[in-house]
Amino acid sequence: MDQVTFRSDTVLSDVHLLLPNARHLMTRLNAVGQPVFISRFKILRDSEEGDAGDGVSVVDAGEKTGRVTGGGEDKERGKREECRSGDSIFLDEDGDLDVERRPRGPASRGRDAICPIVLTQGGGAATDSEEEEDEPREEEELSRDVITIEHTMATPLEDVGKQVWRGAVLLADFILSQPILFQGATVLELGAGTGITSIVAATLAKRVYCTDVGQDLLNMCQRNVTLNRHLLDPAGDQVRVRELDWLGDTLSTETETEFSWAEEEVADLHDNATLLLAADVCYDDELTNALFRTIYRLASHFRNPSTIYLSIEKRLNFTLRHMDVSCEAYDHFRRCLDDLQDIADGKTSFTVEKVVPQFPQFFYYERIEQLELFKVTASPL
Ligand SMILES: C[S@@+](CC[C@H](N)C(=O)[O-])C[C@H]1O[C@@H](n2cnc3c(N)ncnc32)[C@H](O)[C@@H]1O
């Protein structure tokens, strides 16, 4: 696979962008013929990176779109500006800008590191149908601090769930910084993609319903859960990969497939779920509307008050329409949050806050200022 052809709507996550340009990275082809890669994400514990305290603060985002700022955010920005202004600018002999490559070693920069999070890649060739039990498991892979994730690289938009996005890692950081909140909880993740956030949540939670849509993606997600079973309670099946399509019937028990819901799972979710997660799921306005309808439907039927954590990356683009940089998907997301908060159905009230991302980084990735986390609290009236 020397030549990779990118389609015009092909996107590549920054998480995978900085991989070394080596050969033989692909581990196999999936059932639909896409190259599958393996990346290992190391969890940095206290000894490696210092203050893994509770460090989470929240600012009220109850006001309308775009008016919320957080002290922590400003501090972060300040740090980055300082870093930028300290950089030297070099020109080559033709006067072109000579851009220094980002350092690859994580050790030099600590938590603000701008470097790849992937430790190793590749592995023996295997097919979707092969049993993982037959594959030799390396020591690193079995470490309690390493999460192994199969994913594809550049994908068309309809397959973005097969990559790991920065929002998933931000949410994973948040989970690991809030062990008490997640300990023993029943959690539902929407649009889980490769499943990395659910897997992290399952290291603490009692049960995680890890949901997305599409047989092929759900297969990949299930494989990732299996690959990381050594991180989870050996007795239990904490992570259940299930189909939940925001555009369809919320929790269908109609069909009997590997990823369909059993009646008792729906009841368990209804009776016990208190935490909902969604990472980087707002990039198309129609889907965002469907996601918010799903959140509303679910949260207003749960027996208990629930909290929904949504991460989003504000991807700024210059548009002729605005003659400026903007992110329409982000603006729409903020309007949906406002609308949720304005709901007055007499049954459930929703409040929205922005979480200042001051919590520790347990994974190496670039926590850019456009990466944001929101907390929505749903309370029965
Ligand atoms: C950008 S990916 C994010 C995946 C993962 N949360 C992450 O951050 O790495 C968006 C996810 O939303 C899912 N999604 C899109 N439309 C959906 C729908 N109608 N119902 C459920 N999930 C959907 C996609 O399949 C994909 O996994």
For 312-335, the pLDDT digits (tens) are: 998 877 777 777 777 889 999 999
181 within 8 A of 201, measured Cβ to Cβ: no
Q: What is the DSSP string of 76-121?
A: HHHHHHHHHHHS--EE-TTS-EEPPPPP--GGGTGGG--S--EEEE
pLDDT score, position 96: 58
CA atoms within 13 A on the CB side of 260: 9
Q: Considering the chain, what percentage of its residues have pLDDT values greater than 70?
A: 70
pLDDT score, position 59: 46
Q: Considering the chain, what percentage of its residues have pLDDT values greater than 90?
A: 48
pLDDT score, position 113: 33
User: Is residue 341's pLDDT more than 60?
Assistant: yes
pLDDT score, position 307: 98
Report CA(192)–ligand 1 centroid distance (Å). 6
CA atoms within 13 A on the CB side of 175: 34
Q: What is the DSSP string of 178-241?
A: -HHHHTT-EEEEES-TTSHHHHHHHTT-SEEEEEES-HHHHHHHHHHHHHTGGGS-TT---EEE
pLDDT score, position 17: 76
149 within 8 A of 123, measured Cβ to Cβ: no
Q: How confident is the model at residue 111 (pLDDT cuts 50, 70, 90)?
A: very low
Q: How confident is the model at residue 31 (pLDDT cuts 50, 70, 90)?
A: confident
Domain ranges of the chain: 54-66+155-380, 71-101
Choose from 36-40, 84-88, 108-112, 136-140 the range with maximum mean pLDDT.
36-40
Report CA(185)–ligand 1 centroid distance (Å). 23
- CA 59 from centroid of its chain's CA atoms: 22
pLDDT score, position 344: 87
User: Is residue 13's pLDDT more than 60?
Assistant: yes
pLDDT score, position 77: 38
More confident residue, 227 or 327: 227
- Nearest to 28, CA basis, from 132, 119, 147: 132
Q: How confident is the model at residue 362 (pLDDT cuts 50, 70, 90)?
A: very high
User: Is residue 104's pLDDT more than 50?
Assistant: no
pLDDT score, position 87: 39
Q: Hey, is 45 helix, strand or coil? A: coil
pLDDT score, position 34: 85
Average per-residue pLDDT in the chain? Answer: 77
Q: How confident is the model at residue 63 (pLDDT cuts 50, 70, 90)?
A: very low
Give the lowest-confidence range in 15-24, 67-76, 335-344.
67-76
Which strands, in side-by-side order, build the sheet including 273-279? 57-60, 348-356, 371-380, 306-313, 273-279, 186-190, 207-212, 239-243
More confident residue, 31 or 254: 31
Helix ranges (H only) for the chain are 14-17, 46-49, 71-86, 139-142, 166-177, 179-182, 196-202, 215-227, 263-272, 285-301, 328-342
Report CA(243)–ligand 1 centroid distance (Å). 11
pLDDT score, position 25: 63
40 within 8 A of 199, measured Cβ to Cβ: no
Which residues fall within 8 angstroms of residue 104, CB to CB, at 6 or more apart?
Answer: 18, 20, 115, 116
Pick the CATH number of 54-66+155-380 from 3.40.50.150, 2.60.120.200, 3.20.20.100, 3.40.50.620: 3.40.50.150
**Most informative mutation of 14, 157, 158, 160 for ligand 1 (most atoms within 8 A of CB):** 160
Atom in ligand 1 nearest the alpha carbon of residue 161: 27
Which residues fall within 8 angstroms of residue 243, CB to CB, at 6 or more apart?
Answer: 211, 212, 213, 218, 252, 257, 259, 260, 261
pLDDT score, position 32: 84
Which residues fall within 8 angstroms of residue 75, CB to CB, at 6 or more apart?
Answer: none
376 within 8 A of 295, measured Cβ to Cβ: yes
Report CA(179)–ligand 1 centroid distance (Å). 25
State if residue 246 touches ligand 1 by the CB under 6 angstroms criterion: yes
Cα(69)–Cα(61) distance, rounded to whole angstroms?
Answer: 9
pLDDT score, position 226: 94
User: Is residue 6's pLDDT more than 70?
Assistant: no
* Mean pLDDT calculated for residue range 359-367: 91
More confident residue, 22 or 32: 32
User: Is residue 64's pLDDT more than 70?
Assistant: no
pLDDT score, position 62: 36
Cα(70)–Cα(206) distance, rounded to whole angstroms?
Answer: 32
State if residue 247 touches ligand 1 by the CB under 6 angstroms criterion: yes
- Nearest to 197, CA basis, from 230, 229, 165: 165
Cα(161)–Cα(86) distance, rounded to whole angstroms?
Answer: 37
Sign of CA dihedral 194, 196, 199, 205: negative
* Mean pLDDT calculated for residue range 175-200: 97
pLDDT score, position 233: 81
Report CA(211)–ligand 1 centroid distance (Å). 9
Q: How confident is the model at residue 137 (pLDDT cuts 50, 70, 90)?
A: low
